[in-house]
Structure 1
Amino acid sequence: MADGNGIDYASLLCSRLCHDLLNPVGALNNGIELLADETDPSMREQCMGLLGDSARVSAAKLKFYRLAFGSAGGYGETLPAHEVRAAVEGMFALPGKLKIEWLVSDDSLAKLSAKILLNLALIAGESLPRGGVLMLGMEQVDGAVDIAVRGEGPRLTLDADIRRALAGTLPEAEISSRTVAAAMIRQLATGRGGDVILSDTTEPFIMFGAHIPA
C-alpha cells in the first residue's frame, strides 16, 4: 500500500471481500449449471441442497462484511448487539467447527467498537482452522470501551504479518488484502487515542485486547 489513505484501505478491503466471496458464489454458479443438465431426481435434490448451502454462506459473509468493513446501520451511532452477534455466528456457522461464546451484556454497541470487535473476531476465527472456542467480550464504563477476543483450539496459527499489523510494526508499504483488517483495527483504535494489545506468541491461545478511551 503506497500511502495509507482511505482509498487504499477501501481497495484492499474490497479485494479481501471479493476473494472470500469467490468460492461460495462460484459454487452457486456451478450448481445452477449442473441443475440445468441433471434429470435424475435424487441428483437434482443434492444440487438444490448444495445451492442452498452456498447461498447461505454467501449471505452470511455479506452480512458480516457489511458490518465489519462498511457503514451498516444507517446514520446512527450504535448497532444492536444481537445483530453483531448474529453476524459473527453466521460467519463461522459450520456445525461443530467453532464454538462462539458471547460475553457482551450491552444491548447496543458503538459502531467503532463493533467494527473493532468484528474484525478481531475475524482474525481470531481464521486462526483456528481446525475449530475451537472463540470468546468475545466488551465492557463499557463511563464512555470508555474495553474489548477482548480470545481464541483457543488445535492447530492455532496467527500469521506473523497480521500480528505485526495489529502491533503497528508492519510498514504501510507491506499492507495487503490479507493484513488490511488488522491494520484497520490498529488505525481505528489509535485514531481515538486507544491501543491494541496482543498475547505473547508463547501462549497456547491468542488473545486480543483493545481499549478505546472516552
Structure 2
Amino acid sequence: MNSQTELAALLCSRLCHDMLSPVGALSNGLELLADEDDPEMRKRCIELLEQSAAISTNKLKFFRLAFGAAGGFGDNVPVEEAQEVINALAAGNSRIELNWAVEEQSLPKPAVKVLLNLAQIGIDALVRGGTLDIGAEKRDGNVEIVTRARGGKIAFDETIGKALQGEIAPVEITSRTAAAHMIALLADEMGGGLQYALSDDALVLGAVLPQPEGMIG
C-alpha cells in the first residue's frame, strides 16, 4: 500500500463485496415477481424484496458514516446516529445481543469512524451469535473506545489485528483488511492507537484517541 488511491480502491472493493448479496437478492426477487401469478408467492416475493432493500439501505448508511465524510454538523457526530447504524446491522442476526455503554451525546467524527469499524469487526467475529458490548467515553483529553465480542465461536483473522496495530505489510492489505488499516492510519494521525486481545471465547478491540483541540471539555 503506497497511496491513498489504492486504499480508496480497496475500500470500494469492500463496499461492492458487501453490497453484492443484498442487491443480487433484489434483482432475483424482481425477476421472480415478474413471472409469478400466485398471490401468496407474490406476497412472499415482496417480503423478500423489502428485507433485501432494508439490508442494502443499512449497509449503505454504515459505509457512508464509517468511511465517508458524512455525520452530523461541525466536528461532532451524535452518538445516537452511530448506534442506529450498528443496531440496524446487527438486527438481521437474532443471535447477537448488543449492549451499549456510551453516555456521551456526541463524539468527534474520527472517533465515530473507529467505533463503527470496531463494532463491525466484532459483529463479523460472532459467527454463531453471542454478545457485543460497545463502550466509549471522554477522559483525560482522550476518547476511549472498547468493543467486546463474546460467544461460543469467535472467528477473527489476526491479519486484521495486525492491520489495526499498524503491523501489516503492504502486500497483506486487501479489501478484507483495508478498513482496519484505514482506522489505524486515522488513529496514528490523531496521535492515538488501537489494540486487540483474542481468546477462545472473546475478542476485545480498543482505541485511545486524543480529542481534537478545542473539543476538550
Instruction: Using structure 1 for the length normalisation, give the TM-score.
Output: 0.94
- The within-5 A match list for 1:100-119 is 100-119=98-117
**Percentage of pairs with the same residue:** 46
Deviations 1:102-158 (A, max 9, x none): 111111111000000000111111011111111111111243111111101121111
Structure 1 residue ranges without an equivalent (≥5): none
Which secondary structure state, in structure 2, belongs to the residue aligned with residue 206 of structure 1? strand
The alpha carbon displacement at 1:74 in A equals 6.0
Q: Is the 8 A contact 2:190 2:210 kept in 1?
A: yes
- The within-5 A match list for 1:94-105 is 94-105=92-103
Q: Is the 8 A contact 2:131 2:149 kept in 1?
A: yes
Superposed structure 1 runs of 4+ greater than 3 Å apart: none
Aligned to 2:145: 147
Count how many residue pairs are aligned between Structure 1 and Structure 2: 211
Deviates more, 1:143-152 or 1:45-54: 143-152
Taking the aligned partners of 2:21 and 2:199, their CA distance within structure 1 comes to 34
The one-letter amino acid of 1:207's match is V
Structure 2 residue ranges without an equivalent (≥5): 212-217
Match of 1:58 among 52, 56, 59: 56
Taking the aligned partners of 1:74 and 1:157, their CA distance within structure 2 comes to 33
Match of 2:46 among 45, 48, 51: 48
The one-letter amino acid of 2:205's match is F
Is 2:182 aligned against 1:184? yes
